[in-house]
Amino acid sequence: MENMFIWNMIGFIKGEKMKYCTTDSIKINDAGTDGHILPDALFRIFQEAAIKHSDSVGFTHGKYMEMNRLWMLHRLSYRLHSGINLYDTLKTETWSRGMQRFRGFREYELSRNGQRVCTASSVWLFIDTAKKRPAKIEPEIPEAYKPVDETTSGTAIEDWQPEKPSETAESCRIQTRLSDFDINSHLNNTVYSAYIFQAFAEINGAKKDFSEFCIEFSHELPLGTKEALVKIERKGADCVFSVSDGTQTNALGFFRA
């Protein structure tokens, strides 16, 4: 995937080698018509920060491929504390919160001029790419990442119970593009939020920013999938959603707009 960000500073936070820091500049293709950052641009920041962190401790994509292993994003939630706009420069901090059996937990904090603007929590699954199932995490991996037992939200994302929209929920079909699929031959996780954002705008007749967003990925959408079916249903202050290929549910979650 084409890198949408300017990475003008990469490294460990001084005095705290367990947290990793990057600086991102929000560019034109990261923002919507109103100049506000798009959800998939936020997801790209999270994705790239995790990749850069892994690279820095010696566990590159190539290294994991040699091991027949892969980290797969299972859950991610973010909350905007302030608006993020075109040309903003953000400092992104990320760290491993810990690893258990075949799961890894990662936190993020984005700030602008010293003020926190976005926080996020995520759960990743360690996958055996040959057997296509979760694999036990080898001891040397958490040793390399040096986990920090600190959450950004104060709430463990692994305790969240996703809710599925009803059969009568409004729906929208989104046509996929070849560029939506990544090196692993499935729909990139960053793209799901773009589909949900587009579906919500079409259903409601206008775009709205997501101040809070939470998603769980259950099945991949493989290369060759022609369209995704997005269902959205309002539940109080939130909207619950599902993304599917029409035969099985691939992702569930909620957002607040």
CATH number at residue 136: 3.10.129.10
Looking at the structure, do residues 149 and 191 belong to the same domain, yes or no? Answer: no
Q: Residue 133: what pLDDT?
A: 94
Q: Pick the last residue of a domain from 158, 188, 205.
A: 158
Q: Residue 154: what pLDDT?
A: 62
In tens, the pLDDT along 5-21 reads 333 333 444 444 589 99
- Token code pair at residue 1: 């995937």
Q: Residue 6: what pLDDT?
A: 30
Q: Which residues of the chain have pLDDT under 50?
A: 1-16
Q: Residue 90: what pLDDT?
A: 98
In a domain, 2, yes or no: no
Cα–Cα distance, 21 to 110 (Å, whole number): 10
Q: Pick the last residue of a domain from 158, 192, 209.
A: 158
Looking at the structure, do residues 33 and 130 belong to the same domain, yes or no? Answer: yes
For the chain, the domain total comes to 2
In a domain, 165, yes or no: no
- Token code pair at residue 243: 């993304």
Which structural domain range is residue 210 located in? Answer: 170-256
Looking at the structure, do residues 70 and 23 belong to the same domain, yes or no? Answer: yes
- Token code pair at residue 8: 């003008």
Looking at the structure, do residues 30 and 134 belong to the same domain, yes or no? Answer: yes
- DSSP letter for each residue of 155-210: S-GGG----PPPTTSEEEEEE--GGGB-TTSBB-HHHHHHHHHHHHHHHHTS----
Cα–Cα distance, 175 to 119 (Å, whole number): 30
Looking at the structure, do residues 191 and 108 belong to the same domain, yes or no? Answer: no
CA–CA distances in Å: residue 92 to residues 115, 116, 120, 257: 12, 10, 11, 23
Q: Where are the alpha helices (DSSP H) in the chain?
A: 39-56, 61-66, 140-145, 189-204
Looking at the structure, do residues 149 and 39 belong to the same domain, yes or no? Answer: yes
Q: What is the pTM of this model?
A: 0.89
Looking at the structure, do residues 176 and 131 belong to the same domain, yes or no? Answer: no
Looking at the structure, do residues 71 and 102 belong to the same domain, yes or no? Answer: yes
Q: Residue 153: what pLDDT?
A: 74
Q: Residue 158: what pLDDT?
A: 85
In a domain, 4, yes or no: no
Q: Residue 233: what pLDDT?
A: 98
Q: Pick the last residue of a domain from 129, 158, 187.
A: 158
Looking at the structure, do residues 186 and 78 belong to the same domain, yes or no? Answer: no
Looking at the structure, do residues 153 and 184 belong to the same domain, yes or no? Answer: no
Looking at the structure, do residues 32 and 86 belong to the same domain, yes or no? Answer: yes
Looking at the structure, do residues 154 and 249 belong to the same domain, yes or no? Answer: no
In a domain, 5, yes or no: no
